[in-house]
Amino acid sequence: MISQTETKKEENAVNLPEAKFSDMKINPKILKKLEELKFTVPTPIQLQTIPVGLEGGDLIGIAQTGTGKTLAFGIPIIQKIMDEKQLALIVLPTRELALQVDEVFQKVGRSLGITTAVLIGGAAFGPQMAAIRRHPQVIIGTPGRIIDHLEKRHIKLHACRILVLDEADRMLDMGFAPQIKEILKEMEASKDRQTLLFSATMPDYIAAIATKYMKTPLRVEVARAGSVAENIEQEIYFVKKDQKLRLLEKLLQEHTGSVLVFSRTKYGAQKICKELEMSGYTAAEIHSNRSLMQRRQALDGFKAGKYRVLVATDIASRGIDVTGIQLIVNFDLPESPEDYVHRIGRTGRAGQKGRAISIATSDQQHKIYRIEMLTKTKMKVFGEAKDLPRASQGRSHPSEQRHFFKKRQFRRGSGGANRGRGGAPGGR
């Protein structure tokens, strides 16, 4: 057992000695299932968290999206249900992520007798009640709807021994702090509770939850908080606002695979999707103005290749786990640098190569700067980006026109020399 807070860090996943799931104390039936699914080598977060999870310890996993987080908590939960008849509650920020996590539990756990209920907002109560009546071993849900069911006394959490808070930073960003507190309080009664908290970033208020509600958690960090996968190539184009759509179409012509486009607003997403359809692309949109059915249909269609382009807003994008997304386009820069990390984590999943292209206007240099500060990504300057207007110079600089489609490319650990040469655009 873990007697005090410890920290394990693995800055570079590639340096980990190759281990196998079969080296961990995983139930042979689960191992067989993982083998069938062609999962033999644990990802770094799995390697470090599964043993702790199986031992019953609390942990905080700081991991970027697409690192295999779901099985990192999923395998211990399934094993504890099989061996110790425990019950688990998984709280996460969005409906999409809930369905995604449920899919993983179905894939690995269904044939092992694991039952789940998905309790998400925007869906009818009837089927959720029916699922609750079947006494699920795992409840997966969004904070608001879980509270609804608690208040209506449809569910009780006192028998629940394992609590997962997935994408905790995002839940707090979305204003779910009161609901999370209520859930944590509700579960305080279960003395031997095990809490597994996952987050891509580690703001102070999450550290505070950990101190108050967790038992000397082990902190596992497979990559620095806010880091982006090494295998994602990141580029940025500076254009005028009215040139963005033209650039997007140009990028779609240059790439052949599936593309996920991020819009800042739902109206923007609608507009982009319409424009792309008019230009002959197969595109679907996913944002909060769409019903749950429409969102599922869009996501399933994107996964199946029916739509080449999926246009999403940040909140709706959580849980989009589609392997093989070739390109992420940030049509608008995200509101927060943390969102940038989440967005581009949709490409380059599980070790594959990925590409992320951001489109910005010249007055957004400060946003790029904040992203770089969080991701600790050094910028490599290509072309004549040094002539780009500084952030303080405001909008519509005449040089913008000359630099239409000029791109700056940044990769981790490179470009220090260029930064000096390029005069660090953005007035840093």
Q: How far is the CB of 67 from ligand AMP (least distance, A)?
A: 5
Buried/exposed code over 180-215 (b: 16+ C-beta within 10 A; e: otherwise):
bebbbebbeebeebbbbbbbbbbeeebeebbeebbe
69 touches ligand AMP by CB under 6 A: yes
Considering only 26, 30, 33, 42, the residue that binds ligand AMP (CB under 6 A) is: 42
Nearer to ligand AMP, 221 or 372 (CB): 221
CB nearer to ligand AMP: pick between 323 and 401: 323
Binding ligand AMP by CB under 6 A: which of 189, 207, 208, 350?
A: 350
From 323, 392, 401, 414, residue interacting with ligand AMP (rule: CB under 6 A): 323
Closest CA to 372 of 328, 323, 411: 411
Query: In angstroms, what is the minimal distance from the CB of 350 to ligand AMP?
Result: 4
Residue 19 binding ligand AMP, by CB under 6 A? no
57 lies in the binding site for ligand AMP (CB under 6 A): no
Restricting to residues 230-269, name those near ligand AMP by CB under 6 A.
Answer: none
Q: Does 148 bind ligand AMP (CB under 6 A)?
A: no
Out of 58, 102, 167, 321, point to the residue binding ligand AMP (CB under 6 A): 321
Nearest to 79 by CA among 124, 26, 31, 40: 26
Please identify, using beta-carbon distances, which residue of 47 and 327 lies nearer to ligand AMP. 47
* Nearest residue (CB) to ligand AMP, 37 versus 293: 37
15: CB partners within 8 A, 6+ apart: none
Distance between CA atoms of residues 175 and 167, nearest Å: 13
Residue-wise DSSP of 312-376: E-HHHHTT---TTEEEEEESS--SSHHHHHHHHTTSSGGG--EEEEEEE-GGGHHHHHHHHHHHT
Q: Torsion angle of alpha carbons 402, 407, 408, 410, nearest 10°?
A: 180
Q: Does 349 bind ligand AMP (CB under 6 A)?
A: yes
Comparing CB distances to ligand AMP, the nearer of 98 and 359 is 98
Please report which helix (H) or strand (E) contains residue 187, including its range.
helix 177-188
> 288-307: which residues touch ligand AMP (CB under 6 A)?
none
Nearest distance in Å: CB 31, ligand AMP: 12
- Residue from 44, 61, 68, 426 that binds ligand AMP (CB under 6 A)? 68
User: Cα–Cα distance between 24 and 42 in angstroms, integer?
Assistant: 10
Q: Which of 67, 199, 243, 361 binds ligand AMP (CB under 6 A)?
A: 67
| Closest of 220, 241, 190 to residue 88, by C-alpha | 190
Contact 404, 240 (CB under 8 A): yes
Residue numbers at the binding site for ligand AMP (CB under 6 A): 39, 41-43, 46, 65-71, 321, 323, 349-350
